[in-house]
Amino acid sequence: MFSKTQPAELGVFGGPPAFDTIRSISNLVRPDVERFLSWSKVFHDAHQYTDHGAVERELEKRLALFHDVEYCVSFAGGFWGLVLAMKCLALTGKTEVVMPSLTYRRLADIVAWAGLVPHFCEVDPVTLAITAETAARCINENTALILGVHPIVNCCDVEGLERLSEETGIPLLFDAVESVYESVNGRKVGSFGQAECFSMQSSKLFNAFEGGYVTTNDSALAARLRDMRHFGLRDDGTVDAIGIDAKQNEIHASMALAALEDVDAQVERNRRRYQTYKRLLAVVPDVRLLTFDESERCGYKNIVIELLDGWPVSRERVLAILHAEHLLTRPYYYPPLHQKRTDYRTIAGNLSTTEQLAQRFLMLPCGHFVDEADVAKIVTLLGFIHTHATEINERFQK
């Protein structure tokens, strides 16, 4: 229970934090240790720890089934899955990748690693995501690829982007890192566009310590990705393509399989947290929860709120207050990528919608180390901030 009764008791003004340990926005789910050890015994007994061993092969098979797709290629990290997919799909002689600016803070770096130029597009103010319309404005004679990035709540304009790709002949790659469990019109994410990329970093729905994978229905693309992740070597030992060492090892694949076996139970736990947030935030003034489209499959992994125009305390001050209470909250994708300094070339036009949206949203604690009692405490704290806004603002000004 949140027990503070006056602003002077807030941690940011010298009071003790409301939480003894930090509650974060990361998932950090640890799968059952016995399942993990059981899969680890498979590679240990086989004396094969990497190079596409039995555990990795089983993981790829199960992930392909999970996404209802023909092929899955795993990687040491989602980063390299994206880089190599871009290298494979980008149109020869073209340089620009159309992508949103309101997205993961390192995504433009990944494009640059692929030797391409990020061309930032606007996002839809409702979905916070790239659409066919916003992407089309950026397409020109130099466009090599469309990067359809799903936001962290719901999915982007999948059907519109697929039509745009078909009409223009520009390949479409989806960054589906935050939509691993989701569906679009009843069809599981994983088989849209030419390929889709996922992460299995420890903060994601599938915790493999580290890892990633690409799904596709294109057999030639899958084969090329397998070669490229293994130094460009083909099965017969010949070098067929430029490559790197981006193989996923067997111990990480073991962790991923244990996580995959727990995913439905994990999603149910996420759903309960989300429903508690939804119920309690309904009575907090000037706050809007980004709701999941429950007519589709939802992973319920992330909690995002919008501070509406009537909210009386700046987002920066809210963040300072929450951090001092041991709540590791973050602004949603701030600053947008086009406002960050880079060592590589980028392209951006007028992104006023992105810039306005980047000031309004906040990610709240969720995941394995946040229970429903914590959620109630967090929401009560938000209500406390609103109620005592005048005194809080005065204290910040002293």
Dump pLDDT digits (tens) for 5-39.
999 999 999 999 999 999 999 888 889 999 999 99
Q: Is 180 contained in some domain?
A: yes
Q: Quote the pLDDT of residue 1.
A: 80
Length reported for the chain: 398
Contact at 8 Å (CB) between 250 and 45?
no
Residues 189 and 247 in one domain: yes
Do 250 and 314 lie in one domain? The reply is no
Could you write out the DSSP letters of every residue in 187-252?
EETTSSSSEEEEE--TTSSS--SS-EEEEES-HHHHHHHHHHHBTTB-TTS-B-S---B-PPPHHH
Q: Is residue 77 part of a domain?
A: yes
Asked which of 205, 234, 257 is the last residue of a domain, the reply is 257
Residue 167 lies in a domain: yes
* CATH number of residue 310's parent domain: 3.90.1150.10
Query: Is residue 1, in this structure, part of any structural domain at all?
Result: no
d(CA 75, CA 110): 15
190 shares a domain with 94:
yes
Nearby residues of 356 by Cβ (< 8 Å), 6 or more positions away: none
Residues 72 and 216 both lie in one domain: yes
In contact, 18 and 325? CB cutoff 8 Å: yes
Number of domains in the chain: 2
- Between CA 233 and CA 236, with CA 234 as vertex, the angle to 5 degrees is 115
Residues 169 and 145 in one domain: yes
Count the Cβ atoms, other than its own, within 10 Å of residue 112.
18
DSSP 78-144: HHHHHHHHHHHHSPTT--EEEEESSS-TTHHHHHHHTT-EEEEE---TTT-S--HHHHHTT--TTEE
Q: How far is CA 139 from CA 46, 95, 142, 147, in A?
A: 50, 11, 8, 12
Whether 289 and 379 map to the same domain: the answer is yes
Three-state SS string over 128-190 comes to CCCCHHHHHCCCCCCEEEEEEECCCCCCCCHHHHHHHHHHHCCCEEEECCCCCCCEECCEECC
- Tokens 């999941």 found at: 292
Same domain, 90 and 170: yes
Site of tokens 């960050």: 340
Instruction: Report if residue 64 sits inside a domain.
Output: yes
Nearest to 174 by CA among 305, 67, 94, 298: 67
Residues 251 and 322 in one domain: no
Residue 2 inside a domain? The answer is no
- The whole-number pLDDT of residue 234 equals 78
Are residues 182 and 116 part of one domain? yes
Of 88, 149, 94, the C-alpha closest to 117 is 94
Considering the domain architecture, whether residues 335 and 202 belong to the same structural domain is answered as no
The pLDDT score that the predictor gives to residue 325 is 98
Consecutive 10-residue averages of pLDDT for the chain (398 residues): 93 96 89 94 90 94 99 97 98 99 97 98 98 98 99 98 99 98 98 98 93 98 95 78 91 96 95 98 98 98 97 98 97 97 96 98 94 97 98 95
* 307 and 373 share one domain: yes
DSSP state of 286: T
User: Does residue 93 belong to any structural domain of this protein?
Assistant: yes
Measure Cα distances from 215 to 54, 144, 241, 314 in Å: 19, 20, 20, 41
At position 67, the amino acid (one-letter code) is H
- CA 238 to chain CA mean position, Å: 36
Last residue of one domain, picked from the residues 224, 257, 290? 257
CATH code for the domain in which residue 182 is found: 3.40.640.10
| CA dist list (Å): 314 to 22, 318, 354, 393, 396 | 22, 6, 18, 9, 11
Examine the fold and report which residue of 257, 276, 298 is the final residue of a domain before the chain moves on.
257
Do 37 and 22 sit in the same domain of this protein?
no
Task: Check: CB of residue 151 under 8 Å from CB of residue 129.
Answer: yes
- At residue 235, the pLDDT reads 74
Summarised one tens digit per residue, pLDDT across range 319-333 is 999 999 999 999 999
Q: Which of 381, 134, 154, 178 is nearest to 290 (CA)?
A: 154
Residue 190 covered by a domain: yes
Range of the domain at 388: 7-29+263-397
Query: Per residue in 260-319, pLDDT tens?
Result: 999 999 999 999 999 999 999 999 999 999 999 999 999 999 999 999 999 999 999 999
